[in-house]
A and B are shown apart, each in its own frame.
Chain A
Amino acid sequence: MHAKDTTCFAVSVVGADRPGIVAGITEVFYRLGCNIADSSCAMLAGEFAMILIVSHKKPFTKAHLLEELKPVCDRLEMTLSVRHLSSSEEQRAETAGEICQITVYGADQPGIVYRVTSALAARRINIMDLQTKLAGSEEEPVYIMLLEAALPEGIIPEEVEQLLSGLKQELQVEIGVRIITPVEL
C-alpha cells in the first residue's frame, strides 16, 4: 500500500466536539507534507474522534509529528495518541473467506456486545467494523449493533448463524447474518 521510502503512523485524537477540529489537525499534516492515507471520524454523544493513518517520506520521526500536533491538541483540548507502524502492520492481510454483515438488535441489556463478539472470537472470526447505537425510548431502550466480520476460510455464513442462535434465545435479541463479500464486475 505504501512505498518503501515512506514511514507510517496511526494518529488518534478525541475530545469534546467543536468547530475546527478536523481543520486544525489536518493543517499540521498539510504543513509537514504528510499524506492522509485513510481516515475515519465519528461523533459519539458530544465526543468527536478522529483516527488517521498518515504517511511521510523518510526520514521523519514520531517525535517530530508529536511535537507539531501537541500544541494544536492542547488548544482544542483533545487527547492525542501517535503510534509508529512497522512496515508489516501497514499491509492489511487479505482474507480468504467470506465477509459477513451481522445485525443484532433487541431490548438493551448488559453484555450484548461482549457475548456476541466473544462467540465470534472463539471461532477466529475477525471483526473489521463495528457500530452500535442505543435507540428506542428511555423506558424501553433498544440496542442495535451492526458489525462486519471476515470469516476464516471454510466457515460458511450458516455456521455463524448457528453459532449465534443460542445467544439469540438466551438474550432474546434478533440476529441476522448476510454475506457482503464484494462481487467483481
Chain B
Amino acid sequence: MAVQTILKYPHPLLKKLARSVVRLDDEIKALLQDLLDTMEAGPGSVGVAAPQIGVGLRVCVVDVSKSRHGKDNNHGRLLMVNPEIVERSGCAVMREGCMSVPDYTGDVERATEITVRFLDGQSEEQREIQASGFEAVAIQHEMDHLDGILFLDRVVSIATGLFRRKNYR
C-alpha cells in the first residue's frame, strides 16, 4: 500500500503504448492497490492509470462515486486490467484536467455511452459494463493513458469552435 508520485508530462512514459497484462498475479494486485491509494490521495481525482505512476502496463482504476458529476450514475470502484471499449455511442464535450498535465485544462469530445470489457481486479473474472455520463468520460480518459494519449492530443481548439466559412460553393 503506497501512494505513488504522479508522473508529469514531458515524462516519456506518458506517451508510450502500455503492454497487456499476462496474468493477474500478486505484482498486479499490488499495482492495483498503489493505483487506488494514489487516486484517493489526489485532490478530487476519479482515476489513475498505471503509466501515470511509472508502470507501462494496461491497468487503471476509476471511481467517480464521490464526485459531483458521477455520484448518481456509477459502478463504484473499478479495477480494470486490460480494458477494451467494445462499443461507443453519443458524444459530448467536457473541459478536462489531468494530474499529469497540471495547470492546464482543455475541451475534449468523448463518447457519452460505452461498453467496456476488462479483467476485474476484484473478482478476478472477465467483466463487461455499460458506463455513461461522467463515468464513461473518466474511463475513456484513463484508458487513453494506456495508449500514450493525453487530453492535449484531443483538444479540438484552444480558442473557439466557431469559424467563418472560407468560401461558399
Residues of A within 8 A of B134 (CB): 183
Q: Is the CB of A183 within 8 A of B137?
A: yes
Which residues of chain B have C-beta atoms less than 8 A from A182's C-beta? 95-97, 105
Whole-angstrom distance between the Cβ of A178 and the nearest chain B Cβ: 10
Main DSSP-derived SS at the A contact region: strand
Q: Are B99 and A183 in contact (CB under 8 A)?
A: no
**B86 interface residue per 8 A CB criterion:** no
Do B138 and A180 touch across chains, with their CB atoms under 8 A apart? Answer: no
B98: which of A40, A133, A146, A185 is its contact (CB, 8 Å)?
Answer: A185
Minimum CB distance partner of B141 in chain A: A185
Tell me, in angstroms, the Cα distance from A181 to B96 when the chains sit together: 9
Give chain A residues whose Cβ lies under 8 Å from the Cβ of B45.
184-185
Contact assessment for A183 and B160 in the assembled complex, using a CB-CB cutoff below 8 Å:
no
Within 8 A of A (CB), among B116-134: 134
B94: interface (CB < 8 Å): yes
The distance from the CB of A52 to the nearest CB of chain B, in whole angstroms, is 15
Across-interface contacts of B98 in A (CB, < 8 A): 184-185
A144 CB-CB contact with B under 8 Å: yes
Complex CA–CA separation, A183 to B134 (angstroms): 9
Range class of the A interface residue count:
10 to 19
Can you list 29 contacts pairing A with B, beta carbon distance less than 8 Å? A99-B95, A133-B162, A133-B164, A135-B164, A144-B162, A180-B95, A180-B107, A181-B95, A182-B95, A182-B96, A182-B97, A183-B46, A183-B67, A183-B69, A183-B94, A183-B95, A183-B96, A183-B97, A183-B134, A184-B42, A184-B44, A184-B46, A184-B99, A185-B46, A185-B98, A185-B99, A185-B138, A185-B142, A185-B151
Q: Beyond A183-B46, A185-B151: 14 further Cβ-contacts under 8 Å?
A: A40-B159, A146-B162, A182-B105, A183-B69, A183-B95, A183-B96, A183-B97, A183-B134, A183-B137, A185-B96, A185-B98, A185-B99, A185-B138, A185-B141
Shortest 9 CB-CB contacts between residues of A and residues of B: A182-B105, A182-B95, A184-B44, A185-B141, A182-B97, A180-B95, A184-B97, A131-B160, A185-B98
Chain B interface residues (CB < 8 Å from chain A): 42-47, 67, 69, 94-99, 105, 107, 134, 137-138, 141-142, 151, 159-160, 162, 164
